[in-house]
Structure 1
Amino acid sequence: MKKTRLSLFPGLLFISSALMATELKTVSPEQLLDMQQNQNALVVDIRTEAEWQASGILSNSLKLQSFDPQGRFDQAKWVAALEQLKSSPDQPVILICRSGNRSARVGDFLTRQLGMKNVHHLQNGLQSWLESGGPVSPNCLQVACK
């Protein structure tokens, strides 16, 4: 009996390390800036058009609304659009929403269900960005705003 348990242990370590590799990571506003500047991180604002209009967006971020006004998420369409925005398959992606809830849900979907690596979300969303004194730009009509 003990021999069987010990032989399963290396397999369990492998599985747990594989799961750890695809977990969503949380970043602070400072880490977001560092990753954007030093790792070419793609910063994706997943909020709604109304939210972009109300509060503006982070400079050098891209707008890619995740949930429509009725709360629906077209996973296939959204992921295809995200892949089009990425410059490489391993480019870090940082998701932003208002409070961190939606970005965590979308990030969990990307990492756990699709197995995407190098996915992050801004802890407490745009609220933490604003509290840290981070600047925002007015909403613009293009997907990418500078």
Structure 2
Amino acid sequence: MKKSLTLLLAGLLFSAQLLADELKSVSPEQLLDMQQNRNALVIDVRTEAEWQASGVISNSHKLQSFDNQGAFDQNPWLASLEKLKSSPDQPVILVCRSGNRSGKVGALLARQLGMKNIYHLENGLQSWIKSGHPLSPNCLAIACK
């Protein structure tokens, strides 16, 4: 009986993992394609100081994830993200400097919260710049064009 219960629980856990969406990485070119052809929402999760220092990807939205002490206030951040989305299944591409923070936030959204169509820019803005793509100057509005 104990063995059957263990197998059942293991099966349920495995099934839940299969249903959870995985975080996917995209290249700079894939980001541009998804932004243009799939109405992907590009979210820059860096800090205000980083936006000021380097600029942002055109048509991206600034939504800082971790504060200067490394804390992430999940519920207000998610509420702000939902306000930006045009539909529940709209692709969301997260961007940070190196891909580390966007990967952490993306994993939370995809794996723990079960959100679909969550991506992050592989190697962050470093790969964007290395690919020769321009950045727009930081602007005061939440969306920069």
CA distance in 2, matches of 1:75, 1:14: 26
Provide the secondary structure at the position in 2 that maps to 1:34.
helix
CA distance in 1, matches of 2:30, 2:71: 30
Structure 2 stretches of 5 or more lacking a match?
Answer: none
Judged with a 3 Å threshold, the aligned counterparts in structure 2 of structure 1 residues 16 and 46 are, in CA distance, closer, same or farther, namely: closer
Aligned to 2:81: 82
Amino acid at match of 1:139: N
Aligned to 1:17: 18
Aligned to 1:101: 100
* Paired residues, number: 137
4+ residue runs over 2 A deviation: 11-17
CA distance in 1, matches of 2:49, 2:33: 28
Judged with a 3 Å threshold, the aligned counterparts in structure 2 of structure 1 residues 16 and 76 are, in CA distance, closer, same or farther, namely: closer
Identity of aligned residues (%): 72
Q: CA RMSD in A?
A: 1.6
Provide the secondary structure at the position in 2 that maps to 1:128.
helix
CA distance in 1, matches of 2:138, 2:28: 20
**What displacement does 1:17 show?**
3.2
Aligned to 1:137: 136
**What displacement does 1:18 show?**
1.5
Provide the secondary structure at the position in 2 that maps to 1:30.
helix
Cα deviation code 1:90-132 (max 9, x no counterpart): 0000000000000000000001111100000000000000000
Structure 1 stretches of 5 or more lacking a match?
Answer: none
Aligned to 1:28: 27
Aligned to 2:67: 68
CA distance in 1, matches of 2:101, 2:72: 11
**What displacement does 1:70 show?**
1.1
CA distance in 2, matches of 1:51, 1:38: 28
Counting only pairs closer than 5 Å after superposition, residues 114-129 of structure 1 correspond to structure 2 as 114-129=113-128
CA distance in 2, matches of 1:92, 1:83: 12
